[in-house]
Structure 1
């Protein structure tokens, strides 16, 4: 069925370069095995993520030819014989984590570190280096395995298309930002510092508000992104200033510390102040320990890698960073790292969107682009555009 379709996708062709290329139309197969538990999706929306940008900048071990894209929302157009609870025509959100639903970690809800979908390590994702070799979804069509377990069906197709700019965030950045806030211990009345005003940082800020935080402070070096954070009620600090982060927080809160902190930057972090042009990969982690109160939590959804060929030091090329861990120990901090287990949160966050409890598309400043516009979107995002680029391969977004 549907094999007469062509397919095109966003392909990483080398550092700084992506192209739209003809790619294979997906099959219900994993290698040489039939995949009766999978579905083929007509991609409704697929988003450009900061994690994609790390690869495109050449800051990972990704090889040219990789089809990118792990933030996917689609319509089922074909399904395997083992798919029982989803139907042709359903519109679904695809968690960026691929999970089997059968292994120990999946059964415990840790779907970001499934044991059966990646021969190299625990955890898999679509279109990402070292994450199992799964074809990415920045394309017209994509295959999703273990569909009954992985996919979140939207209850009403018309409503889904009306709110698709918000719902497309459920595949990754909204749950990821929410996970960062929850694991940092954000509760009603909390004060929160979020490092990074990119889309995940903005999603973490909106999530902190949803969780009832009293004050959300966002730090970045990009004035446009800081303005975007202020647009929905966040306080901001400009990390290009020579003042210390504790001092800038004290100017807002009256004290130089917060209850919870969320690192939404990751391994390409830069120094603060006048030396902000210099890369310093552990600066955010060390700052978090400095500004988080004793006994507080630090959520780390920002990406850290074990292989970074573009790192500024030999140690950082293998993920070894100079952390002031003794400070964190002395202050009894706890740290939560790793991929967000999207399925832990996406149904409730869908309900928050459908019942207008959060305006996530507005918070992250969604801009819808065509598939052919993806290279330009990557370029603008790399230059610091205060936008979240959503690819609409079939012109389905109205």
Structure 2
């Protein structure tokens, strides 16, 4: 028989003898699927996805926070990740924030150093410091947003996420509203409107800010801050690439609510900025505030599709954190650059321009605003030269008013 076996020739040229078994043993990570009616025969099936080989014949699903190991014989914890400081997604926002903090500190120091000079007084010292505080907070929020989440960090995120914007736009809204009321009142009477003093402006501003703080305190009471691991955000098809993301308990809805009030203040301020765009620029900061608000609105209109459009991305945590922090820093930079850097430039490099401006009566200010409005209305009907000449002659012909003189430029802001 042995000689006969040696004499056998296989068509494949393989001289090895075939095994006399129905099925071969399964490899590690595979289960046996018995052939119906033939209990000694089976097919080998690999445990797929997040399943592991629980026994010779079964695969079982790992618990939600675990994944199968390399050979699928057991489960192991899914690695937990967070945004690292050395990540490019963190380095860029931190760099912008550090530059902004340095610039804001420089402006604050300059304003404090030259606190009694005309240009600082004309800016409205009290409101300027409130606005600078808001700008500073917008830059500071970058650090708790990137820091490793814990109860303290999550608490800071809740408090300061919308507070910086609230400080900034509450102050700007109060300014633009005051300017609007002054010139609307001036069209009806020569008396100044109520609540335009610096103390009144501070009360109005902090009343607006208190709404944001009240909302935060209610949020703290209803749902104390805590952390959790989101295993669903990066639960990939390949378990080897699965990650859990350590996060604060701030959902997209909570984020919208936190920023929503500040965005409402921003939009309202923009509306008032449009209404006061025709005010003579020599009297107040209406036009710089207007340019600031238009640019800020563009920044946040770009933020919304980027932030929510990446909700299904594997890089969601990195993109959304970077987008939010950069948007906050850019909006703060716009306010700082347009409203304060020109003043700091004059204070430091052109002190000869830092002198009191000629005081004008309330009626004279309103008259100038009215002339500007008429000039805009008549520009489409007559040549520019004729319109300007007519209006200038009208202003020169006006008799001097006996209204009590006030320094509008020193108290308008």
Q: TM-score, normalised by structure 2?
A: 0.18
Structure number having the greater helix percentage: 2
Q: TM-score, normalised by structure 1?
A: 0.19
